[in-house]
Structure 1
Amino acid sequence: MQIQTRKISSAPKAFEVCAHGLRLKGELYAKERGLFCLEARLEGEIELICDRSGEAFMQAIDEALVLYISDGFWDTQSQRFEAFDVIECFDGFIDLDSILQSEIESIKLDYHYKGEYHGSAKETSQ
């Protein structure tokens, strides 16, 4: 789902996008000219790989997100806000599917451990 930046006002606009078992649902609004705020909740289940055992497992996700998006380059020197990262978009559209995919990839790149480790120590005790 893409939303034109020029159609986003200071009044929050609700959205919902889903992919790979996760749902990003929230609101998008203009913070100031050329800067937008996305406040959302990321929920669902995602398949991850345990970094200890190498096994795939399902992990429940439920987290709040606040992301800032600029229409064009974001000049960090002229920030009037606290330091934060800004997603830059250059075609006049905010691509919510791309933002969700980026969050999914970010989760997958983290370290993950399955709730129970099924290694040799557990096997020898049986």
Structure 2
Amino acid sequence: MKIAFSKLNNTPYPFKLDLENIVFEGNMVKINPKLVKINATMKGFVYRPCDRCGEELELDIDEELEIFASDGLFKDIQNELSNTIEFFDSQIDLMEIAVSEFEAYLSDYFYCKNCSED
């Protein structure tokens, strides 16, 4: 799902994506001509092996996200890491953002009940 930067303004633009067992939904608001703020939630569940013993576990996901999308190159004035994704075709690809945030969540370590008690 792609949304053109030109369609966005300071009125919240709602969206919702279903990614199998994960729902990515929220709204987007333009905060300046080149920057959009995205407030979203990522909810659902996924099956994943325990990182210690390999037993399959069900992860319940309920994450609040605040992401920025830039129309072109983004220069952080304070030279600090920010949660800004750059797009170079004047469109925000919500599917790309959702998959990226989901993969970032899964990059953490997860342990089953037996292994987390050790």
Q: TM-score, normalised by structure 1?
A: 0.83
Q: Which runs of 5+ in 1 are unaligned?
A: 122-126
Specify the structure having the higher radius of gyration (Cα): 1
Rounded Cα–Cα distance in structure 1 between residues aligned with 2:60 and 2:94: 21
Pair 1:86-2:84 in alignment: yes
- Relative to structure 1, the CA distance from residue 67 to residue 105 in structure 2 (aligned partners, 3 Å threshold; closer, same or farther) is same
Runs of 4+ in 1 over 4 A off after TM superposition: none
Pair 1:75-2:78 in alignment: no
* Amino acid of the structure 1 residue aligned with 2:103: E
1:72-103 CA distance string (max 9 Å, x none): 000123x6xx8623110111111111111111
Q: TM-score, normalised by structure 2?
A: 0.89
Rounded Cα–Cα distance in structure 1 between residues aligned with 2:99 and 2:83: 17
Given that 2:76 and 2:82 are in contact with CA atoms closer than 8 Å, whether structure 1 keeps it comes out as: no
Matches within 5 A, 1:10-25: 10-25=10-25
Partner of 1:105: 103
CA RMSD across the alignment: 1.8
Partner of 2:30: 30
Given that 1:36 and 1:70 are in contact with CA atoms closer than 8 Å, whether structure 2 keeps it comes out as: yes
Percent identical pairs in the alignment equals 32
> How many residues are paired up?
115
